[in-house]
């Protein structure tokens, strides 16, 4: 078990010798460059239903939303390919 002082030392060591970025900061920087964020608002009570549907389809909620968007785009002959 490590002490609080030891944990502080490890963080300081990491920042000094490893360029100052944590893996979370690095992931966040990459995600900001590679992805757009989209906030979806649904009626109260729909969120658990959407989550259940996604689980029933062995998908994440995000994957389900993307799947639904791609399906609607295909049905409407709309190209969602990023150029």
Q: Please give the Cα distance from 50 to 60 (Å, whole number).
A: 10
Model-level pTM? Answer: 0.67
What pLDDT is stored for residue 20 in this prediction?
62
What pLDDT is stored for residue 23 in this prediction?
80
Residue 64's CB: how many other CB atoms inside 10 A? 17
Q: What pLDDT, in 10s, does the model give residues 47-76?
A: 999 999 999 999 999 999 999 999 999 999
């Amino acid at each position: 078990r490590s002490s609080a002082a030891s944990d502080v030392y490890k963080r300081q060591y990491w920042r000094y010798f490893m360029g100052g970025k944590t893996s979370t900061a690095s992931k966040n920087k990459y995600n900001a460059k590679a992805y757009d964020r989209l906030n979806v608002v649904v009626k109260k009570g729909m969120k658990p239903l959407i989550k259940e549907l996604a689980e029933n389809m062995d998908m994440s909620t995000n994957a389900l939303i993307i799947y639904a968007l791609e399906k609607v785009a295909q049905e409407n002959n709309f190209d969602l390919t990023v150029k």
